Amino acid sequence: MKKIVISFPLPVMPIAQPLIRKLQELATNTQLEFTGLNPEEDEPLPIRGDDIPELVVTHHVSIMKNRDAMVSSGSYEAPKGVIPEMRDDLQEKGFVDPTGCFIPLCFVPLVLLYDRSIKPTPSSWEDLLEKRWQGRIGSASTSTFIKLLNVNLKSLFGERVDQLNQLFDSMDLKGLPIKVNLAVGDGDLDVGIAPLPFARASRTGDISMCWPKEGAFCAIHVMIFKKDAHEDAIKIGRYLLSDEAQQLMSAPGLIPVNPNVPLPEEAVENKLNFYWEGWDWFIGRLNGI
């Protein structure tokens, strides 16, 4: 049976049941698979044969890095004329994939959180290279999260090899993002790198959030359609971009692509400042680490 594979953004999972029920209603003639958080690598998608899903929703860079091979195979292609366009402000920032292979569903900003008692407070990614933070910075430790940090920090500061190595070698990897929040709140760490929804939340009230001045790094959830995808896949893709579904994603702090859905206030305050130089830059960097 034809299948559709969906991985929801972690911050959406606690409120995902209504979304799951709706998608199950739409998948009348396909097998719908929901995958949980995989801290390791997901296998690249097949580029030929009968195992190609009709639709995959994912944030895994181990899948995205294979984009050019997927395009060259001719097996993947977004349906034309039926998928709503991305909001203009995100289009202007280069988030439309020029190959058409990836259709962004939502964006997860990666920002800083810090203990309010520390002085001076961090305001940029560059600040993390200072020796005073050695051993005092924490991060989530899923494979995709670490690779996103590698891609972005090396793009920003690649010539400062010793300082970058010091940062990565001394970083305290905490597993899930919520553990980073808790470690900063408990005073075990001074600074954490976390997705915006987790940086927003403070257990003790002693945590502040910083949207780095170079721009937030970006974890992107994308939809990948098989060429001539089944009607169920198109219905699900359209629904995931609908006002209703995008509101669910915006509520915890994800960046919606639907222009009718308000942005999280932090994104508005920081003028959607992302560190992003386009899909070709991103794919090239992924394949270089």
The residues spanned by each domain of the chain are: 3-107+218-286, 109-210
Q: What is the Cα–Cα distance from 26 to 217, expressed in whole angstroms?
A: 33
pTM of the full structure: 0.93
Q: Is the pLDDT reported for residue 183 higher than 70?
A: yes
Angle at 36 between CA 30 and CA 42, to 5 degrees: 85
Would you place residue 141 in the very low, low, confident or very high pLDDT band (cuts 50, 70, 90)? confident
pLDDT digits (tens, 9 = 90+) for 43-55: 889 998 888 999 9
The CATH architecture annotation of domain 3-107+218-286 reads 3-Layer(aba) Sandwich (3.40)
CB atoms under 10 Å from CB of 24, counted, come to 12
pLDDT digits (tens, 9 = 90+) for 43-101: 889 998 888 999 999 999 999 999 999 999 999 999 988 889 999 999 999 999 999 99
Range with lowest mean pLDDT among 53-62, 182-191, 193-202: 193-202
User: What's the distance, CA 38 to chain centroid?
Assistant: 14
> From 3.30.420.340, 3.40.190.10, 3.90.1170.40, 3.20.20.80, which CATH number describes the 109-210 domain?
3.40.190.10
Length in residues, the chain: 289
Q: What is the mean pLDDT of the chain?
A: 92
Preceding omega of 46 cis (within 30 degrees of 0): no
Q: Is the pLDDT reported for residue 17 higher than 90?
A: no
CB proximity list for 169: less than 8 A, separation 6 or greater = none
